[in-house]
Amino acid sequence: MSDSDNRETGPDSPNSPEGADRGWETGGSVFDRSKTGSGAAATGGGAGSGEQALLQAGTSRGTGRAKKTAPVPAFLGPYATILAREEHPDREEVDRRSYRRGVRLVTFWFALAGVAAVAFIVLNFAGDVHKEYYTPVLGICIGVAMAGLGFGLVVWNKRLMPDEEAVQERHPLHSSPDDVVAFEEDFARGYQETGVGRHKVLRRTLLAAAGLLGLAPLAMIFNFGSIPHGELQVTRWTRGARLATRDGVALRLGDLPIGGIATVYPAIPDQNGKFVALTDNQTAADSTVMLIRLRPGEDQPVPGRETWSVEGHVAYSKICTHAGCPVGLYERTTQHLLCPCHQSTFLVTQHCLPIFGPAARPLPQLPIAVDADGYFIAQSDFIEPVGPSWWSRT
């Protein structure tokens, strides 16, 4: 009997056709074979030659030249063999010109994100919070920074990373040892294929953009300003300031009919003595006032405030004492002022006393008078805090 007759030919034998199809069971996983190298080749000629052919095929992708690889970091040393094997076409070798354009485009987006983040941080400290441009420009800067970082990552994925179609079967929730090894190898391969180790400019601009964007919240924290003390107790109203509309028209006695209402702002004389209405956002935030004309005898003022009105004309802050919303809905027949945010209702004839809703205190009253020219003027600023009630407890 020859040696060939002594070989096993059962279905479980690696020499049989069935055993050849199941050789992967005896030779271990592809990850084990890639790590053992020549040791795997010694176990069987077919497995070793197949692994060697796979490694040799990874050095070229139809271009006839070896693929340029980035230096392998020390912590990826055990997977140097895997990094040398390329399983997906490299975009740089498919279309080098398009690949370089992609690198420049990604660099542009990361650089734009970094510049916008720096502008956001600088504007937080150098910008004028009272200007109308301040808040919109802050939003634009942080938006451009986040969009630039996002666009750069998307373009990096679309233009520089290799394409892959993969189907994954449902698997147990726990990770098997082979899955752990597979993840480590995928991570090592991804380091090479994504170009992180190959393109320093991409890595550096990504880190710079992400780092600067991470500093943006710190800029807002440090730009909150000092703790307010007496600033909440005063507004732009001063003695002699005229009551003017948003168009700058100062109101005279008799301009409002009975039951009429007008939103007014302080008008302060400039260097030439001309009254100019202050209607900027900072003034409107705490100095907006409603001038209301009641019928004679309807007003029931607080004792000591009998001289704060003029012939049925009363002036109250338009800022709700609950949450700071504008109180602008007036019912002429009932003399009710309604806040549309949370339905707080104030009775104008009784010094704007809250009669419904969450507001806890009356609207602050502005003492008014009439000057020699017949214009409504303020006798002084409000004597109580304007706006939500908690301000008066700070």
Task: Say what the pTM is.
Answer: 0.49
> In whole angstroms, what is the distance from residue 226 CA to residue 207 CA?
33
E strands present in 155-296: 242-244, 261-269, 275-277, 289-293
Q: Quote the distance between the C-alpha of residue 132 and its chain's center.
A: 21
What is residue 330's DSSP assignment? E
Q: Would you state the torsion angle of the CA atoms of residues 150, 153, 154, 158, taken in this order, to the nearest 10 degrees?
A: 170
How is residue 2 written in tokens? 């020859």
> In whole angstroms, what is the distance from residue 193 CA to residue 89 CA?
9
Cβ pair 325, 341 in contact under 8 A: yes
Superfamily for the 232-393 domain: Rieske [2Fe-2S] iron-sulphur domain (2.102.10.10)
Partners of 156 in the β-ladder: none
Reported as half-sphere exposure (CB side, CA atoms, 13 A), residue 299 has a value of 24
Cβ pair 141, 123 in contact under 8 A: yes
Q: Quote the distance between the C-alpha of residue 272 and its chain's center.
A: 46
Cβ pair 110, 209 in contact under 8 A: yes
Give, for all 394 residues of the chain, the pLDDT tens digit.
444 444 444 444 444 444 444 444 444 444 444 444 444 444 444 444 444 443 444 444 444 444 455 555 555 555 555 555 445 667 767 788 888 999 999 999 999 999 999 999 999 888 887 787 888 899 999 999 999 999 999 999 888 888 777 777 776 677 788 888 898 888 888 877 887 777 888 888 988 998 888 888 888 777 776 666 666 778 889 999 999 999 989 999 989 999 999 999 999 988 888 899 998 888 888 899 999 999 888 999 889 999 999 999 999 999 999 988 999 889 888 999 999 999 899 999 998 999 998 988 899 999 999 999 999 999 999 988 888 887 555 4
> In whole angstroms, what is the distance from residue 267 CA to residue 71 CA?
71
